[in-house]
Amino acid sequence: MKRILKENYIYIIIIILVILVKIFIVTPVRVNGTSMNPTLEEGDIMLLNKLGKNSIKRFDIIVIDYNDEDIIKRVIGLPGDKIEYKNNKLYVNGKKVDEKFTKVKDEKLNSYSIEALEHSTVPKNYYFVVGDNRPVSQDSRMIGFIHKDDIRGKASFVIFPFSRFGSKK
């Protein structure tokens, strides 16, 4: 037995390292649904950067644990931000922001404000997230703000299918 372990210790170390990386650093995650079209497509497999959850910025794509399911959305509002949609245009803290990632013009967003969630700004330790395909996305407009502890990490790199391989922002 000692001889087998001695001969194969490098393989055992590699297996342990792979498991530790998957648990603590990066793991694959699958896109379910069409709420992030056109940026992401259903079935895309992405790398989830678990360390990225501590440095979230506006427009990052994140993975959220919601009702024991992974959902993928885009961060629009950071803690302290006032978010409004007027005439299908995004306003953050009163300033118009160009959303280059969505090609969908959604009538539901006319005059939407986070005040519908009974807050004038995004609360501390929370984020306001939406899908790029607004008409089908179940996001902060319906489910409310997302607490930082419910964020599993950032996902911006598609690894499969190979035809879509690369960074998505």
The CA-based dihedral angle spanning residues 154, 31, 165, 22, taken in that order and rounded to the nearest 10 degrees = 50
Which are the contacts of 138, defined by CB distance < 8 A and separation ≥ 6?
A: 35, 71, 131
Given the residues 53, 73, 154, 156, the one annotated as active site: 73
The values of phi and psi at residue 158, to 5°, are -90, 130
Bridge partner residues of 153 (DSSP): 63
- Phi, psi torsion values for 71, nearest 5 degrees: -120, 145
What value, to the nearest 5°, has the Cα angle with vertex 126 and ends 121 and 128?
A: 65
Could you confirm whether 163 is annotated as catalytic? no
- Strand segments, DSSP code E, in the chain are 26-30, 45-49, 61-66, 69-77, 83-86, 89-92, 95-97, 112-113, 126-130, 146-147, 151-160, 166-167
| Residue 35 is among the residues annotated as catalytic for this protein | yes
Catalytic-role residue among 2, 6, 22, 35? 35
Residues involved in catalysis:
35, 73
